[in-house]
Amino acid sequence: MEEFEEVPSSFKEGADFFVINSCGVLGKTERKIWKRIKELKKKGKKVILAGCLPLISPRLSEKLADGVIGPKDIFSVSEAARAVLSGKKMKIITKKGINKAKFCFLKVKEDDCSIIISVSEGCLGNCSYCAAKLARGDLKSFELKDILNKIKTALSLGFREIHLTGQDLACYGLDKGNFLLPKLLAEIVKLEGDFRVKVGMLEPYFLKRILKDLIPIFQNEKIYNFFHIPLQSGNDLILEKMRRKYKSKDFLEIATVLKKNFKDYLLATDIIVGFPGETEKAFESTLKIIRKTKPQVLNINRFSARPGTEAFNLKDLPDRIKKERSRLLNKLSEKIKIEKNKKYLGKEFKVLIVKKGKNNTFLARNEIAKAIVLPDNFVSDAKIGEFIKVRIFDYQPHYLIAI
């Protein structure tokens, strides 16, 4: 939740209350949320704060917002809304399990065929820097049959791109005794219809144990060859301080397996810059792995000490060092993106038109979930959710351009 999505000013003025779904991973993001709440309150608006911050920063959450609901209480929004609109303060926090309610999909946006479906809550990690663990807790895998039913319902309503999400999809099912992601994906690809599935983050420690089972399933055209595998640091001493369960060689081995088994794939990874104790040599190890694996998506975050975490008490690095290392990584990432995108020139792809873009364009994705922009003069009769063939004739660092 790095940036807030802007909504029409007419909607802002006419709204009776606002619900802000918060993330507490980064201090910078938290400060933006507090600022937004204060702005809305000055305008006389009622604010309900949802997500992780009510558990990570409970005192300030309850002080600033009219109502707070925890990340497990999404179905209680209407209850909270009724309370705050009647002038009451409302706090709904469920710490164990999910606050269950009947759930259905309503396809209200005709200009987007994507939907997000969660497969689990929490994780099996214990990272020294992670505040999300304080809010989300240990792994709670949702029932496989329930996930499949949600996907079937979504497909029947016209959704064609399914985003499977969770804090770590690789360990899905382990709280029930088994790795269930391979089984879940195998059942999904059996469903009728032409659709695509984008699998969310896969932690290296658990991914290594199921990779051989996932490879043949990812080779099915219904699954994007997209792999979000967080590295965080290329230095093993830093990974140990982070309480990550894998070593840098595990990430490299996974990347090697992907390269051997897929003609093309999109690797996305995350890096934390300036973790306490990160020396120049340790940072160079990270640069070395990024140069070798060449991820097309590189999410860079400067270390942000979060209250309640083990790393909060570690000696922080100066901001100037974090900024410089972040700049170097961004520069390398841009170079990799341009190098990769240049190779797509002239190639043809079967793409799924996902949604409308800016200036009457459309956003589409190919088999690796690569973003492809379709100009307005090319697809005047294009429809969201359709598959078409296109040829790449230009590119920008973050997307391809087709004709």
pLDDT for res 6: 42
Residues 6+ positions from 320 with CB-CB distance below 8 Å: none
* Percentage of the residues of the chain whose pLDDT score is greater than 90: 66
* 3-state SS assignment for residue 36: helix
Lowest average pLDDT, out of 17-31, 127-141, 324-338, goes to: 17-31
Query: 97: pLDDT confidence band, cut at 50, 70 and 90?
Result: low
pLDDT tens profile 323-348: 999 999 999 999 999 999 999 999 99
Domains within the chain, CATH numbers bracketed: 9-92 (no CATH), 114-342 (3.80.30.20), 348-402 (2.40.50.140)
Average the pLDDT over 37-63 and give the result.
85
Residue of 117, 102, 364, 370 whose CA lies nearest to 227: 370
Query: 358: pLDDT confidence band, cut at 50, 70 and 90?
Result: confident
Average the pLDDT over 353-381 and give the result.
87
pLDDT for res 15: 81
pLDDT tens profile 207-257: 999 999 999 999 999 999 999 999 999 999 999 999 999 999 999 999 999
Whole-model pTM? 0.84
Residue 57 Cα distances to 81, 89, 128, angstroms: 21, 17, 17
Distance CA 153, CA 390 (A): 30
Average the pLDDT over 141-150 and give the result.
96
Q: Is the pLDDT of residue 55 over 80?
A: no
> What is the pLDDT of the chain when averaged over all its residues?
89
Residue 156 buriedness (CB in 10 A; 0-12 / 13-18 / 19+): exposed
Lowest average pLDDT, out of 50-54, 204-208, 254-258, 299-303, goes to: 50-54
